[in-house]
Amino acid sequence: MTDLDALRALIRQDSAARGQTISKLGYFCAPFRPEGGPFGDRVIKVYRGLPDPRALERLKVCHDDYADALVAAGVPLPQTVFHLLEMDGVTIPVIVQEALPTDSLMRPRMQTAPVEETLEMMQQAGTVIARFWHWAEGQQGRIGFHPSIRNFAIVDGQAVFFDTFPPLIHYSRDEMGRLLLAFSEKRIMRLVGPLMQRRVTAIQDEWYSPAETLVGLVGSACRLRPEHADAYLEWGRAFAAREMAPWAEEAVAGMSAPPKLPAIWTGMRKLMGLQGEPNV
């Protein structure tokens, strides 16, 4: 049971007192891990509030359903609890998640490990991707997955996924597009974003495509370690044929050369001054 009063007190502290900021990528928030206290073994993710209580209640339901769906799909997930926290007359979404060892984060490990070790990490992440999409084939409704390298850790040789926001379940494409703007931490995004709503909405499309999620994983690896791009492309094509047969043709076509980051993401990251760090 989460001590909500202690959580409120922690969130009210200034950034120096909160503890370690885990990621500065921060499209939706800047997650942090307290240095001690009741949440010393947790990562805290604080999101913007909305004036519509029904939208927030729906968000909580969708998040809880999404976390349950990931677990049902066999996706390893740290203990994750979503709260709607009343603070000074405003209701804000807060996720409290079991902290993973900092040295387990996949992105920095991919940057420095020998190529054989990086390929094993790709295999573990790919296995989670394939497992999710084979499970999702039998489900009703719209459900997605964002298994980028920065959203995985490698714990005891197994890929662990930790990104549950936004919850990619129950929302239509247009609704998710509006959600991407509503919860952006960057004010400039909320101001400028509506002027290019169609482009912002398109950001999500790869999250709902089995082939593109695998291609995205391989593309990230190629950009992190371009000297090993051929090895990652070869792995990706073989993995698609072996483990993701229903989507293999599309996936293999996307890995004939190192996949590039979609232009919409490149532009948004420059606009918001984001860093490419693990988004835990």
Domain locations in the chain as residue ranges: 4-98, 102-272
Distances, alpha carbon 87 to alpha carbons 4, 41, 52, 92, 116, in Å: 10, 23, 15, 7, 49
d(CA 84, CA 59): 9
pLDDT (tens digit, 0 to 9) for every residue of the chain, 280 residues total?
688 999 999 998 865 556 555 554 446 788 999 988 999 999 999 998 888 999 999 999 999 999 999 999 999 999 999 999 998 889 999 999 999 999 999 999 999 999 999 999 999 999 999 999 999 998 999 999 999 999 999 999 999 999 999 999 999 999 999 898 888 766 656 556 565 677 778 889 999 999 999 999 999 999 999 999 999 999 999 999 999 999 999 999 999 999 987 666 665 555 544 444 443 3
d(CA 237, CA 242): 9
d(CA 196, CA 172): 18
Instruction: Name the token pair of 93.
Output: 């979404």
Contact yes or no for 210/134 (Cβ under 8 A)? no
d(CA 253, CA 152): 25
Cα torsion angle, 167, 173, 178, 181, sign:
positive
Tell me if residue 17 falls in helix, strand or coil: helix
d(CA 280, CA 31): 7
pTM: 0.90
Q: List beta partners, residue 105.
A: 153
Q: What is the pLDDT of residue 13?
A: 84
